[in-house]
Structure 1
Amino acid sequence: MQVRYQDIARWIEAQIQQRVWQVGERIPSVREMSRLQRVSPMTVMRAYEQLEADGWVEARPRSGFFVRPHYNQLAEHVLARPQADSQWLSTHQDVFDVISASHQGTRYPFGSAFPDPQLFPMQALGRAMARVLRQSSHPDHFTILPPGDTGLRRLIAQRYLRQGIKVGIDEIIITNGAIEALSLSLAALTQPGDKVIIEAPAFYGVLQTLERLQLEPVAVSVDPSSGIDINALEHALISHQVSACWLMSNFHNPTGASIPDDDRPRVVSLLASHQVPLIEDDVYGELYFTPSRPMPLKAYDAQGGVLHCGSFSKQLAPGFRVGWVAAGCYAMQIEKRQSVSSLAVGAPNQLTIADYLKQGGYDAHLRRLRETLSTRQNQVLTQLKAILPASASVSEPKGGYFLWVTLDKNIDTRDLFQALRPFGVTIAPGALFATDGRFNHCFRLNLSIDGKVTRELEHNDAECDGLNQIATALSSLLAASPVPVK
């Protein structure tokens, strides 16, 4: 197998970690490394550029590349003794492992929670930002305080109205992505020690937010096919004094499940009857594969008890971190909390999104995106079904970009995660989505990631299809298990 530039970069990174090359030392020149690895100088240069981008080395004019100071060069005695992790944070070390692995040059980060950036209109967004920066001569354009840019909030309100949902501009607050919208909403509704209804499995961001706010979870099961168990939800409301409920109405992360249309009014009325406000996490609602967008739970809210949270990160601009919450009567509380925490959302990002929406083409982009995600889902499902054991099951959501795979309970998908890493592939093990190990035999797969990449000179044909690669790795691991393979 021919050497790829990523292999060289990882090898040098490992050498630095093992202190073969110390901080300030010069690593082999491009010519030396080219001769050593028997590859072209261009391949080595790409590896060195990757190391520089990752912060491991720095280029010095006419001198070469030198090892930069890095956290792992600090002597142990320099570091203060850290406080012991809480049980939840210790349990979710897996979260940090998966996130790190998915951002360290992994070729196929199927474990990532972020969509494939190639799916987004980055050139059009770039033009929108250029227009914004040319026109933003007034100082106020660079400091937009909560609740956010009026123009963007108006455009969001118009999108609600087109769905038949009346949301006033005054109840919309722009946030730093959906996670801030959700966190601020939860903080506005609770006090430390309160109980909050969440889903099981739950997006790990929910678990981390509850940990940070010192809240106690009351978990209600989600079935990958039928969505949340409403009878269990009712039982939880009767059995516990809860202060809030956090649900994903559409294309749940990680299972891909949605609340059935007929059950949505019942969920809202059930919570309203118990006077429990609902934080609706609807960040994937625009990514539907059906003829029309599923109605948010907010559409059935007659008492103002639903705080609807959305984001542009999942379908338009992942790196911009622009989300919002339609908070109803809780808007002022959330606005005040944001003012004393993050203060505001980056003005250029807000103005760029607003400019892009005004130019038109957003809905056309969404149609193309949904078509691509639907096609990729079918491709991934076909390959998974060909290699999974007879006892396994795979969710088939009607939108979003996650698949939930359930294997036999004697398989720990943390082992599967480790087995796939040498191939440049990641998955999200089920251990990320609960603190009690009940989903350790499951894993989440990000189907937005294109399994086929542009062929590089260092790749051979067999390496160019990431879906085949993950199928092979899965098949090998499962064949070694006592579970019969199809």
Structure 2
Amino acid sequence: MKRYEKFAADISEMIRSGVLPAGEKVPSVRVASRTYSVSPATVFKAYYLLEDKGLIQARARSGYYVREHAANALTEPELVRHTSEGTELGVSDLIFSVLGSLKNPDTVPFGSAFPSPHLYPLPRLAKSMSSAVRAMTPAAIVSGMTTGNSELRRQIALRYMISGVRLPADELVITNGAMEALNLCLQCVTEPGDLVAIEAPAFYACLQVLERLKLKAVEIPVHPRDGVDLDSLQDSLTRLPIKACWFMSSFQNPLGASMTQAKKLRLYNLLERQQIPLIEDDVYAELYYGANAPHPVKSLDHSGLVMHCSSFSKTLAPGYRVGWVAGGGYTEQINRLKLMTTISPSVPAQAAIADYLKHGGYDRHLRKLRDTLEQQQGAMLAAAARYFPAATRVTRPAGGYFLWFEFPEQVDSLQVFQMALAQGISLAPGPIFSASQRFKNCARLNYGTPWDERSEQAMAMLGRIIASF
């Protein structure tokens, strides 16, 4: 055990034993360095590790404090190095059965893929829609049909520039949500029967797209904290004719894992050497809890290999179905494919979002949304520590709105799903996130709904169901 890990373990034990209670400030770096005879660098690394584990949190200009749920925190899952090679997809029936459970508005939506609509600025968006439609000229309705609304593309490019990422507006193509963007990217670089490297676990929509396009999945394990296991990826790239990779580099769904910038650079260099395109699914990047937005792999791309996809569906307006892709060297191909399929997303929806980005206080909305989601994550983690078996493991992402639970081995999450649904609770069972239907004792829970007594009771019921195995 390295010195910073030993120091982190000592602080962790002080938290779990109550010596450092919830809300207590942990010793400053200077005090800890002097008291425990370790270097400031060692203290910093230990605190970063404890922050990653969800035990402490930084407060601006104030230091580090023990999180509210930390004393009873469940442990994190570990990386399991397991790959599947060339798996043909057949998971749609299972996925549709899970999605069907969300149609009942009375169901507790832990299985949903979206935050609660109550967290979105819908009245302000309605004003933007009204304003945009009134100002729309006949020419505006047909201009930029394939590439998208020019003002919207300019506003998106401006947001990237402000965060330190250069992404020209003329590289952006507006799409019907991120899913169309991802579909178009895959169609540009693959043919039926090709191998595509995906994450394990992966967002189930990724599996559905591969199934529709008759592609085969090569599953690459994902570390619960820092994303795709690059050693496993390198091994697969060496042995298999992989035509493309589809990865989430920040707040991966379902784990919430985020690659460090150094790891993103290593990933990019690995793929560039072999000239393998990366389809970067980055829909959760704006939902970070720290001080700064994570930079995408696209920010490192100097050869046009990265197709960067995102949308407003997770942060602003799911029903508007407005996404985009920065296609790099594939931009022209993407435009041509789009012209042969949907041609254009909703013109009024594009104009409304462009107006909102320009006048509506998007950053203010995002700050409030992030704060709310972080608080709700803490509430769900605390409830899980109270009600779930002690052997349960859970992730602690630094953004997004999902937790990934790994239950004791005997627990069948598909049975948990059915039993919970009978009690009016939805969840997303582990097998829907795997081409080979692994992760049978795992589940994804969404904490994007405002926490209330109903949420608390649902977690207690889930705990009883899980403990019954």
1:143, 1:392 → 2: CA distance? Answer: 54
**SS of residue paired to 2:404:** strand
Q: Which amino acid aligns with 2:283?
A: V
Aligned match of 1:474: 462
| Pair 1:87–1:466, CA change in 2 (3 A) | farther
Kindly report which structure 2 residues correspond to 1:92-103, keeping only aligned pairs within 5 A, or say none. Answer: 92-103=92-103
In the alignment, structure 2 segments of 5+ residues that lack a partner are 1-86
Q: Contact 2:165 / 2:295 at 8 angstroms: preserved in 1?
A: no
Q: Which amino acid aligns with 2:458?
A: I
Q: RMSD between aligned alpha carbons?
A: 1.5
Q: Which amino acid aligns with 2:272?
A: A
In the alignment, structure 1 segments of 5+ residues that lack a partner are 1-85, 453-464, 482-486
Question: Is 1:348 aligned to residue 348 of structure 2?
Answer: yes
1:306, 1:167 → 2: CA distance? Answer: 12
| Pair 1:393–1:277, CA change in 2 (3 A) | same
Q: Contact 2:222 / 2:229 at 8 angstroms: preserved in 1?
A: yes
How far did 1:390 drift?
2.5
1:349, 1:131 → 2: CA distance? Answer: 11
How far did 1:104 drift?
2.0
Q: How many residues align?
A: 383
Question: Is 1:161 aligned to residue 149 of structure 2?
Answer: no
* C-alpha distance after superposition, 1:361-412 (max 9, x if no partner): 1111111100000000000000011222232100000000010000112111
User: Percentage identity across aligned positions?
Assistant: 42
**SS of residue paired to 1:130:** helix
**SS of residue paired to 1:469:** helix
Q: Which amino acid aligns with 1:189?
A: V
Question: Is 1:244 aligned to residue 241 of structure 2?
Answer: no
Q: Which amino acid aligns with 1:201?
A: P
**SS of residue paired to 1:280:** strand
Q: Which amino acid aligns with 1:114?
A: F
Q: Which amino acid aligns with 1:245?
A: C
Question: Is 1:282 aligned to residue 282 of structure 2?
Answer: yes
TM-score (norm. length: structure 1): 0.77
How far did 1:138 drift?
1.8
Aligned match of 1:263: 263
* C-alpha distance after superposition, 1:28-86 (max 9, x if no partner): xxxxxxxxxxxxxxxxxxxxxxxxxxxxxxxxxxxxxxxxxxxxxxxxxxxxxxxxxx9
Aligned match of 1:232: 232
1:414, 1:142 → 2: CA distance? Answer: 48
**SS of residue paired to 2:307:** strand
2:164, 2:456 → 1: CA distance? Answer: 44
Report 1 or 2 for greater relative contact order, CA contacts < 8 Å, sequence distance ≥ 6: 2
Question: Is 1:327 aligned to residue 315 of structure 2?
Answer: no
**SS of residue paired to 2:197:** strand
1:140, 1:480 → 2: CA distance? Answer: 60
How far did 1:159 drift?
1.3
How far did 1:170 drift?
1.8
**SS of residue paired to 1:421:** helix
2:298, 2:362 → 1: CA distance? Answer: 22
Q: Which amino acid aligns with 2:371?
A: E
Comparing 146-155 and 98-107, the one that deviates more: 98-107
Q: Contact 1:142 / 1:348 at 8 angstroms: preserved in 2?
A: no
How far did 1:119 drift?
0.5
| Pair 1:423–1:99, CA change in 2 (3 A) | same
2:412, 2:342 → 1: CA distance? Answer: 38
Q: Which amino acid aligns with 1:342?
A: T
How far did 1:471 drift?
2.0
**SS of residue paired to 1:283:** coil
| Pair 1:327–1:225, CA change in 2 (3 A) | same
Q: Contact 1:144 / 1:345 at 8 angstroms: preserved in 2?
A: no
Q: Which amino acid aligns with 2:323?
A: G
Q: Which amino acid aligns with 2:89?
A: W
Aligned match of 1:71: none
How far did 1:225 drift?
2.0
TM-score (norm. length: structure 2): 0.79
How far did 1:243 drift?
1.0
Kindly report which structure 2 residues correspond to 1:20-59, keeping only aligned pairs within 5 A, or say none. Answer: none
How far did 1:94 drift?
2.1
How far did 1:478 drift?
2.6
Aligned match of 1:57: none
